[in-house]
Chains A and B, each alone.
Chain A
Amino acid sequence: MQIAELSVLLVWGAATALTIALVAFAIDLGRRTEARAEAHAEARTPVAVGAASASPSTGDAPPSGGDAVTPVRRRAAGIAMSTTWLGTAMLLVAIVLRGLAAGRTPWANMYEFTLVGSFMALAVFLGMNVRKDFKFLGAFVTGLAVLFLVLGLNVFYVAATGVQPALQNYWLVIHVGVAISATGIFTVAFVASVLQLVRDSRDSGSPYLLRPGFRWLDRVPTPTSLEALSFRLNAVGFVLWTFTIIGGAIWAEHAWGRYWGWDPKEVWSFVIWVVYAAYLHARTTRGWDGRRAAWFVIVGYLCVLFNFTGVNLIFNGKHSYSGLNTDTTGGA
């Protein structure tokens, strides 16, 4: 059981690294706000931070055209990105060790799903940052990941072991793997849509959001760009989710003798699919794009979360694989 214990330690390590990243991202977001004022004075002597380095962990401010902010030193961003990479790498090792300890694909119960889901969200975030600067998402993505990991360790944890016959299938790798990827992408898109709504409210003069504490919102991209970002992520997530449902139906046909049976998990996967489909339609409907479309993303993501937590723990369906309660045999 030593490998399994090492895996748990690494998850704690990842949560710690991500907490540091969270703080550093928050500081960076705050600094960037102040930096605006000081930028001109400071940047007369250009400090080429990481301009030559390809490493994404080096914080290089985006070069913006014309009169916008000139590059400033962003040490906090550098620390944040390095610790995020470190935490994500630790999480990956933890997941692999977990799989070795259990002797199977490491995503068969809620604890493992939480680990891999957080990993996917972080991986999407880091992947996005390789080519462009999306560090403003960092504080929120790492924050959610830390929350999920700690919840997973404290609430969903079960010892590493094999799985029941119904789960012994290659579809476990495909169906659940794609579902987790979709969840990871939906998570990042959700952050973008929340920022879009908050920024939009600040721009339109919400008295609460106009307070100095929310000045960092000015450093976040415009609602339009955030909307575009959220859409691109959600489009990928939606296609993956469609595949999740189709793959699940094929597997259900093999294992349970029907491709669709309105099991609670199936119902909620369907609800999620319809909500995101509505989102895609809302974007193209006059009067429903922008803010209203963003609310669909929020509702959709809440459904994703409920589908993972509520449906597993509250309803008694065929997908009760949390491993937290010993369910009846029934054979299959």
Chain B
Amino acid sequence: MSEKATYRPEGINDAFVEGRAGDAPAAPQGGPGKPAGPNLPTLGWRGMLRWTWRQLTSMRVALMLLMLLAVAAVPGSVLPQRGQDAAAVLEYLGDHPTLGEWLDRFGFFEVYSSVWFSAIYILLFVSLVGCIVPRTIAHARALRNRPPRTPVRFGRFPATARARTSASPDEVVEAVADHLRGPVRRLPTFRVDVGSEEPRLGRPATRTVAAERGYLRETGNLVFHLALLGLLVSVALGQLLHYRGQAIVTEGRGFANAVVDYDTFDKGAWFRPSSLSPFSMTLDSFDSEFASDTVAFAQARDFTAHVTVTEPDGGQHSDQIKVNSPLTVDGAKIYLQGNGFAPEITVKDGAGEMAFSGRVPFLPEDTMYTSRGVVKVPDVSDGQEQIGLVGYFLPTAVVEEDGSARSVFPQPQNPLMVLEVYRGDLGLDDGVPQNVYRLDTASLTPSVDEDGETIKLLVKPGETVELPDGLGTVTLGEEVPRYVALDLRYDPSLGWVLTFSLLALAGLAVSLFTPRRRVWVRSWEATDDDGRSFTHVELAGLARGDDAGLQREVDKALAAVPGVADETDDKTDDDTVAADHQRTATED
């Protein structure tokens, strides 16, 4: 089979008969295995450049780069990455000081923006361009090519068929050409040339058909590679133009789409504040549902944020955001990325002055929404210390006999706040930005009981509890508002990214599944031993690469010949051989 597939008919010298190397037209001549090593000194710098370019655009180098890319992508899944989880990177650096420092130096914590990863894919794309551009030009020329002339002998082709018919040679070529072109005139399956030949090799004058299909195969291949290039460019543009803001919003409150209103804000290098559409949004309410059956107890089932959007023109409308359905406002998408409780906490200091009042988001730490939060209370009256409250909010609290409390369900059925109290200099007056969710207790004094145990205050909604050591009181609001973590993202390139991805997919499918085949037919009049005249038909097929369907294609073309039904045994013989051939193609 393989021998036959690489059979080189005389007079044809193109991709069909070159074997597979034809897929790498940019490969240097003289075999890619020996890249002209000994000749290097005589090349000169221009020769050197040319040689480098040829190497870079060769299939072998593309292959190496692909392998390198696969290997280079792996560390990013093994080591923590700054873009995904900056805290994990810090933890890793703390755990492995020496190794971590070296890894960091070589960009292993930002693999996908590191120099070496970028170098690989940029080289790969340069190689792609160098390979694809000449191929596109060559293909544009080849698209106008006619099918190659009918070869003189059909004997050694991988797929052949023969038959006798009562129809005339003219009718035969007409019928086969019709069949090969297919039913759609404007989009023929085969490109078909019908011709005639002078008497030759003991044959009388003959009629011939030369047909070729599968021009789309290379088209698909080129579309795929060009679409990848387009994908890269649109992703890069998206990176430059995008912005992304994150905000925590509690029920009844809202935010405006402005840089200052976000807790965190990332933007691309070409971002302009004018691309922030000036709308605002209010969170009316937030609903959550959790499974209460034993199998999946407390597993989340649904989250819905009900919001009111105020458009830049003043119009208002209600909408909702769910986990899988972001809200789109003026091309920006708003995602529901998290939720939790933001209890209303009021602290009065020892002098009875209001020192802190506000909603404090507590971040959930487990499936039961055991949520951790921090309150940093400034010193408003003279002679008072700064107070830090650290603790947990438990939506459905169960207090054990030993005094420890835990949450047993994520919904607020029996809310309880458990707080530890610290006093000292929290650094609130230094003007240094701090993480609002963390309290560094190392330099602070905890409030302890007689046994030296840290005091844990239990506060229920609506209750006011005395802080120890005469620090004042803490009050938990009657209602416990929910908060949602919203993620707003604007990326004008999304449509392009999708378009190029789908183009790549389509091109890939076309290039992999379009068969490239040639079929030739020759037909002439002859007389058998009894002196009766008949028409002789011969077919041959050639495919690019392995093609299990080639023989079937030839058989179908033969079936299109009129008048074969009243056949001699000549045809049946051929059919058996053909069928056998087909099976041996896979069975061998």
Contacts and interface: CB of A to CB of B under 8 A. Distances in A.
Interface of A: 62-66, 132-134, 159-162, 164-166, 168-169, 221-222, 224-225, 228-229, 231-232, 235, 238-239, 242-243, 246, 249-250, 253-264, 267-268, 270-271, 274-275, 277-278, 281-289, 311, 315, 317, 326-332
Given A257-B335, A257-B489, A165 B300 contact: yes
B91 to A, nearest CB: 13
Contact of B66 (A246, A250, A278, A283): A278
A263 B584 contact: no
Interface stretch (B181-189, B413-421, B493-501): B493-501
A225 B586 contact: yes
Interface string B336-351: 1111100000000000
Nearest to A268: B77
Contacts of B580: 63-66
Interface string B318-345: 0000111110000001011111100000
Interface stretch (B39-47, B276-284, B424-432, B502-510): B502-510
A71 B169 CA distance: 41
Contacts of A249: 501
Interface in B27-80: 27, 31-33, 59-60, 62-63, 66-67, 69-70, 73-74, 76-78
Interface stretch (B307-315, B361-369, B438-446): B361-369
Contact of A311 (B33, B77, B303): B77
A267 B505 contact: no
A108 to B, nearest CB: 12
A332 B336 contact: yes
A164 B289 CA distance: 10
Interface in B538-588: 546, 548, 576-577, 580-581, 583-588
Contacts of B369: 329
A267 B72 CA distance: 10
Contacts of A160: 295
Nearest to B246: A257
B338 A331 contact: yes
A254 B577 contact: no
B59 A329 contact: no
Interface string B284-317: 0000000101011001111100000000000000
A64 B583 CA distance: 7
Contacts of A221: 586-588
Given A162-B301, A271-B70, A228 B548 contact: yes
B485 interface: yes
B1 interface: yes
A169 B323 CA distance: 10
Contacts of B301: 162, 164-165
Contact of B302 (A165, A254, A277, A281): A165
Contacts of B84: 261-263
Contacts of A250: 498
Contacts of B478: none
A285 B299 contact: no
B66 A229 contact: no
Nearest to B512: A235
Contacts of B365: 328
Contact of A278 (B1, B63, B74, B302): B63
A259 B64 CA distance: 28
B66 A274 contact: yes
5 contacts: A162-B291, A165-B300, A228-B546, A315-B77, A329-B367
A329 B69 CA distance: 34
Given A165-B322, A262-B112, A329-B410, A257 B299 contact: no
Nearest to B75: A267
B20 interface: yes
A281 B546 CA distance: 15
Contacts of B485: 331
A274 B73 contact: yes
In the A-B complex, list the 7 residue pairs whose CB atoms are closest, starting with the nearest.
Answer: A65-B580, A284-B23, A165-B323, A331-B338, A161-B296, A257-B335, A278-B66
Contacts of A256: 335, 337
